[in-house]
Amino acid sequence: MVGLTSVDVPMSLHRVPEPLMYDRIHMGDLWDFHPACSLTLAAGNLRHQDQNPFATMLAMCRLSVTNSDAGLQEEICEEGYQTFEPSSTILDDYAPPIKIEQGCETETVIRRRIGLLMWRNWDKFSERFMQDAKLFAFHLSTDSETDKETSVFKTGFLGMEYKDKNTITRRWPNRLVHSKSDEPSLREFERHVGWFDTMPQRWLEWKRVADADDNEWEMARECVLETSWREMAEMQAKIIKEEAQSVDEQEDLEQRIRELLTEDAANREKSEKAEAAKKKKAKASKRKKGKKK
C-alpha cells in the first residue's frame, strides 16, 4: 500500500497526474479549508476501485453539525431556549439549565451549551450541510457550461464518489450521544466536556469510480488553485439564485399565458352564447310576425 498525505498537495496540483496511484489518501482537516481541492487531488492520484476496491480518500469534517441552513433555524432557536429551560434529558442533571441571574459568561453556560450540542441530531444537521448545493455544487465553479446544480455528495466529482457507508473509519469518532434517550455516565460526560476539542468530527470516505478526462481535471485544478472555497460557494450561490429567478419568471410567464388562454376561451364562449341567443330571438320574432299575418 502506498499513502499520500496533505503535505504533498501543492506539488500534486501543479502537475499532470503521474502514473503512480495511491491506495490511501489522507486529507485530514484540509477538507474544511477546501473540499474541492481535496477531491481534485484525489481524482488524479487515487487508485481506481477496479484496481483496488479498498482504495479510499479520507477527510475529516468538523463543520457539518455546527453550520446549519435556514431550514434548521427553528431547532437552533429551541436549543438556545434550552440553555435556560429543561431539555428533558439526563443533561439537566449533569449541566442544569442556567438561571438568568448567573449571567451568560460563566463556565456553567459553556458546560450547558456543549451538552446541548452533544444531544443535537448530528446526522440530520450533517446531511443537510453536505447536500447544500450552494456549498458543494462544484461543477458550477469549474465548468461554465454545466447544468449540474446538485451537491457533489450526490453527483460525484471528477470520477470521485462519496461512500454512504464508511469502511475504513468510524463516522463519528467523538460522538457520545446518539439519541435523545441516551444516558451516558457522569464520568463519560465530564470526560467529553473536558476535552480540548468538542467540535463534532465526521470522517468522510470517497472512492474513485471513473476517470476524469484531462480537460475536466485541468479546469478543476485551475479553479481550486485560483479560487478559495468561500469564493466558489459565493459563485455557486449566485448562479443557483439566478437560475431560480429565471425559473420563477418562466413559470410566471407560463401561468400568465394559461390565464390569457382561459380568459380568451371564456370570452369566445360568452360571445358564442350571445350570438346564439340573438339568433334565437330573431327567429322567435319572425315566427311571431308570421302568425299576425
Name the percent of the chain lying above pLDDT 70. 80
Q: How far is CA 158 from CA 23, 182, 257, in A?
A: 17, 40, 42
Q: What pLDDT was estimated at residue 79?
A: 86
The whole-angstrom separation of Cα 83 and Cα 85 is: 6
pLDDT category of residue 256 using cuts at 50, 70 and 90? low
| 221-248 residue pLDDT tens | 999 989 999 999 999 989 888 887 766 5
Residues 6 or more apart whose Cβ sits within 8 Å of residue 138: 35, 36, 39, 152, 157, 220, 232, 236
| 38-48 residue pLDDT tens | 999 999 889 99
- Residue 56 pLDDT more than 90? yes
- Residue 101 pLDDT more than 60? yes
Asked if 127 contacts 147 with a C-beta cutoff of 8 angstroms, the reply is no
Find the length of the chain. 293
Ordered DSSP codes for 99-117: PGGG-SSSHHHHHHHHHHH
Cell of 153: 455528495
Strand 56-61 and strand 160-162: the pairing is unpaired
| 148-204 residue pLDDT tens | 789 999 999 999 999 999 999 999 999 999 998 999 999 999 999 988 888 999 999
Name the percent of the chain lying above pLDDT 90. 47
Highest mean pLDDT among 13-17, 30-34, 160-164, 282-286: 160-164
Q: Which of 133, 138, 161, 145 is nearest to 53 (CA)?
A: 161
Q: How far is CA 283 from CA 221, 270, 279, 290, 292, in A?
A: 83, 20, 6, 11, 15
Q: Which residue bears the cell 299575418?
A: 293
Higher pLDDT, 149 or 279: 149
